[in-house]
Amino acid sequence: MRPVIFDFNLFGWELSLPTYGLLLALGFLAALAVAMSQARRAGMASDAVTDLWIVSLLSGVVGAKLLLYLLDWRYYLANPSSILTTLRSAGVWYGGLILAIAAALIIIRRKGLDGWLLGDVAAPAIAVGQAIGRLGCFAAGCCYGKPCTLPWAVTFTDPRAREITGVPLHTALHPTQIYHSIAGIVLFLFLIFLAKRKRFDGQVLLSYLILYALGRGAIEFFRDDARGSLGGFSTSQILSLAVLVTASILYFRRRRSAPAPSSHNRS
C-alpha cells in the first residue's frame, strides 16, 4: 500500500505526509460532522458536543498508544527508539476507548450533561470515524492479517510500511483493515437507522458497543500483528468479551427501567 502520500523538503528539513495521519484527520472531521448532526436532531447544544468530541479524541489517541506500550512493555523498554516509530501507526483501540470514556465522564459530570443521550449522539460518529481511520491502517500496513490465498488477499511491497508497522512484505494477507472498515460502515448505517427509532436513551451507544465487540472479536481471528495474547486469544478479544458482557447487561437493565426518550429524539 502507500504509507506516505509524498515527501518534500522544507527549509532543509526532509518531511513527509503520512497517509494514516491524513485519513485519521478526515475520519475525525467526518465523525464530528455526524456528531453535530445527531446532536441537532437530539436537541442538544452543539458546543457541548464539540468540546466533548475534541477531548475524547485526544484522550483516545493517547490511550491507544499507552495500551500498545503497556502490552509489549518489555520490547519498548529494550527498544525505546521504537516508540517514535509507532507514533506513525495506530495503537490499541480499546486503550483509546477506555481513556476517552474516562475523559468524557469527567466532562459530563462537571457540566451536568446527559451521558446516555451524549453516548447515543457519539456512537454513529465513532463508527464512521473508525471506518475511515481503518483505511489509514490499510495504507500504513498496521493491523495486518494472516497469510491467505483468497482472491481478495493483499500484498504489501513498500519497505516503509514494514519499517513503520512490521507488516510482512511480498506475502498475500487477509485485508483485515478493510474488514474493519466495512464493518464500521455497516455499523454506522445501522446506528443511524436505530437512532430514529430508539426506545430509550443509551440504546444506540450500547448497541454500538455490543455489535462492535462481536465484530472485533471475530475479525481478530484473521489478524496476525503482535497485540498481546492470553490463553490463545488476543488481548482485544478478551477486552471485546468484557465489553460485550458489560454492555449487554446494561442494555437489558435500561430496556426494563429507562424512561422513553423525549419526542424530538424519536423523530
Q: What is the tens place of the pLDDT at every residue in 54-93?
A: 787 778 777 777 777 776 666 667 766 666 555 555 566 6
Q: What is the pTM of this model?
A: 0.82
What DSSP line would sit under the chain, residue for residue? --SEEEEEEETTEEEEEEHHHHHHHHHHHHHHHHHHHHHHHHT--HHHHHHHHHHHHHHHHHHHHHHHHHHTHHHHHH-THHHHHHTTS---HHHHHHHHHHHHHHHHHHHT--HHHHHHHHHHHHHHHHHHHHHHHHHHT-S-B-B---TT-EEB--HHHHHHH-PPBS-EE--HHHHHHHHHHHHHHHHHHHHTT-SSTTHHHHHHHHHHHHHHHHHGGGB-S---EETTEEHHHHHHHHHHHHHHHHHHHHHHHSPPPPGGGG-
Q: What is the pLDDT of residues 20-50, one digit of tens each?
A: 878 888 988 898 899 889 988 888 877 777 7
